[in-house]
Structure 1
């Protein structure tokens, strides 16, 4: 009787090299369009074109946008993209618990990107019913940046 699961040991699929290339430890930093989150619009050059963000600035913008985007809400993004900080609103937890959860959620959201090496040095500033967070993000190229965001 013929085997339902034939051996593919001698078969060459033709894409083995692309699999090896994609598993390499090199991380690609790319360029992006420069975006002003305060104005809510792209930054324009004097000639009327959209300004280009370099490698590091594009990565920092990605981190900032990942924190501002609610996870699981938009089908255009993968289930790994975004943060779950909105779930903390109205939970009635103490500030220490909220800061611990925000630290965990922010770290998880930013470490999804292979360009991000570490997220640390969190500080939280509370003002009535909202909280502003700053943290240090480090890329795999050892670039560091202080990221600031209103989280609650």
Structure 2
């Protein structure tokens, strides 16, 4: 007789389904949270806009996964515009792929526009593909 009985344990495979979290729509024009619940592609779009408009580590209410480090880059007076154009795509990708609903970023186009940078993104998500345009300035 063995000290511990041998039992055959049946292995099971569980497919974890990523659930799109329900969140409340943010009215970006007025800077207010609405009482309208959103899910799916709209909640992913809102996550992307929040990430692009939030400086990482600046707000203790957000985890360190939320936001970008682009603000620091844009305000760096020693960095050239060419360097900034080269770094922005990397920083954007790092900031966005933390959300498990985002599969990958298909295309990132960055162009200098006066004192700002115009960013066009094509983002592939679990819910579909999003086209995002945003102007990134150093004085957010």
Q: Between 69-78 and 58-67, report the one with greater CA deviation.
A: 69-78
Give the TM-score, by structure 2 length.
Answer: 0.77
How many positions carry a matched residue from both structures?
126
Q: What's the CA shift for 1:147?
A: 1.5
Matched, 1:126 2:103: no
Give unpaired runs (5+ residues) of structure 2: 6-12
| Paired residues for 1:1-152 under 5 Å | 25-43=16-34, 50-88=35-73, 89-141=75-127, 143-152=128-137
Instruction: Check whether the contact 2:85–2:111 (CA below 8 A) recurs between aligned residues.
Output: no
Give unpaired runs (5+ residues) of structure 1: 1-8, 11-19, 44-49
The runs of at least 4 aligned residues of structure 1 exceeding 3 Å deviation read none
Structure 2 distance, partners of 1:36, 1:148, is 17
Structure 1 distance, partners of 2:134, 2:78, is 21
Give the TM-score, by structure 1 length.
Answer: 0.72
Structure 2 distance, partners of 1:133, 1:147, is 8
- Please provide the CA RMSD for this pair: 2.3
Structure 1 distance, partners of 2:95, 2:32, is 23
